[in-house]
Amino acid sequence: MRRFLLVVAVIVVGVLGVVTAATAAGRGGSATPSLLASAAKVSYEPAAQATGVSPTSPVSVKVTDGTLQQVTLLGAAGKPVAGALDAGRTTWTSTGPLAYDAQYTWSGTAVGPDGVAVPLQGGFHTVKPTRQVRGVINIGDGRTVGIAAPIEIQFNAHVEDRAAVERALSITTSKQVEGSWGWLPDENGGSRVHYRPKAYWPANTKVSVEADLFGVAYGGGQFGAANVSSAFTIGRAQIVKADATSFRMVVVRDGKQVADYPASYGLAADPDRNTRSGIHVVTEKFTDKRMTSQQYGYDVMEKWAVRMSNNGEFIHANPASAGAQGSSNVTHGCVNLSIENAKAYYDTALYGDPVEVTGTPVQLSAKDGDVWDWTLSWDQWQKLSAL
C-alpha cells in the first residue's frame, strides 16, 4: 500500500512539472511577445513643465527603445512650430522660431518594441522680458562708406550684460581685417557699441554684420527684441590731409593726391575756435546748412557743408573768409573753402571718410562728439570691449 502511494506522488509531481513548463512557455513564448518587450521612453528638451525658457534654446523630443510616429509642438493660438524628424525617427527638432512669454505643448505618439503607443505630453513656457530692447545698425544694406567708418549698434535702453551682447555679434569681411568692438558711453537713450578696425578698412572690402540679438539676456530682465544685420562695401580710400599750418586742404585718393585747396582753419589764438587735431570722420553732408553761435553772435546759411565732427566742425564754403583762405586761420573751428572748391570736395565725400587734422594746439577728444573712435590707440580701443 505504501509503495502504491509513493508512485501516485511521483506521478502528481510529474504532472505539476508539466503544467509549470507549459505556463512558462505561454509567458515567454511567441504567443504573447509583448509581455517581455520594452516600452518607448520619451525625453524632452526643455524639460517638461519648464518655465523661463529662452526662445532661442534648443527644442526637441527624443525616444529611446522606439520611434516617433507623430510629433506636434503647438504654440500661441494653437499654431504648430516647424520642425523635422531625423532619419531614424528617434528625434524631432524644431526649426521654426519661438516667441517670448508663450506656452508650448507637445502632442503625438512614440511606439516601442512592445507595439504600445506612448503619448507625447506636457510642454514649457518661454521667458517674459521686462522689456524688449532694440538695436539699430548705423550703416544700411547696400551702402558704400569710407575707410574710417565705424560700425555702430545703438540700443534703445541701457545694456547691462555687454559681454552676452558682444558674443552675439559677428563681422565677416572679404579682405583680412583686424578689428574689435568697443562700448562707448550711453547716448541717445541707451547703450552703444562700435566696431573699429585696427587701421583703416582696406578699400573695396565687402563687410557683413550679423547681430543675433533675439533671445539674448541683456540683464535686469531685458532681452533682445530682434536680430539685425547689414551688408555694405568700403569704397575707395579717400583721406583729407588738413594741416592747419599750411593753410591748405589736400585730398588723397587711393594713394594719389587729387586736390589741393586753399583753406582757412580755426583761429589759433582762441582755444574755443581751434580746429581739433586728430582723425575726424565724415558723418553727414548738406547742400545748405544753417550755422549759429550765441557765444560768437552769428547765424548764417553756408553752402556745401560736410560734417566731420559732432562738435560743430564742418568743411564748407564761406565767401566771408575768402581773403584768408590759403594765408591765415580765422574761422570758428570749421575748414573754410571757396564755393567752387567746397562743391568739388562735397561731391566726393562719403560717410566714413577720414579727415586728418594736424598743426593745431587742441586735440580731438571724446567730448568733441559721438565719433571719436580714432582718437584712441589700438590698445586703448581694445580695452573698451566687454570680452
Lookup: cell for 313: 566742425
The verdict on whether 334 is a catalytic residue reads yes
Rounded-to-integer distance, Cα 180 and Cα 185, Å: 16
The verdict on whether 158 is a catalytic residue reads no
Rounded-to-integer distance, Cα 314 and Cα 291, Å: 10
Rounded-to-integer distance, Cα 337 and Cα 72, Å: 69
Rounded-to-integer distance, Cα 195 and Cα 179, Å: 7
300 within 8 A of 334, measured Cβ to Cβ: no
What are the residues facing 173 on neighbouring strands?
207
Which residue in 194, 280, 316, 332 is the catalytic one? 316
Rounded-to-integer distance, Cα 112 and Cα 41, Å: 8
Residue type, 359: G
Rounded-to-integer distance, Cα 122 and Cα 178, Å: 48
Rounded-to-integer distance, Cα 277 and Cα 309, Å: 11
Beta-strand relationship, 228-234 and 206-211 = antiparallel
Rounded-to-integer distance, Cα 383 and Cα 376, Å: 10
Residue type, 15: V
Which residue in 194, 280, 332, 334 is the catalytic one? 334
- Transcribe 152-218 into DSSP letters: EEEESS--S-HHHHHHTEEEEESS---EEEEEEEEETTEEEEEEEESSPPPTT-EEEEEE--BT-EE
Burial class (CB in 10 A: 0-12, 13-18, 19+), 35: exposed
Lookup: cell for 12: 502528481
Active site residues: 316, 334
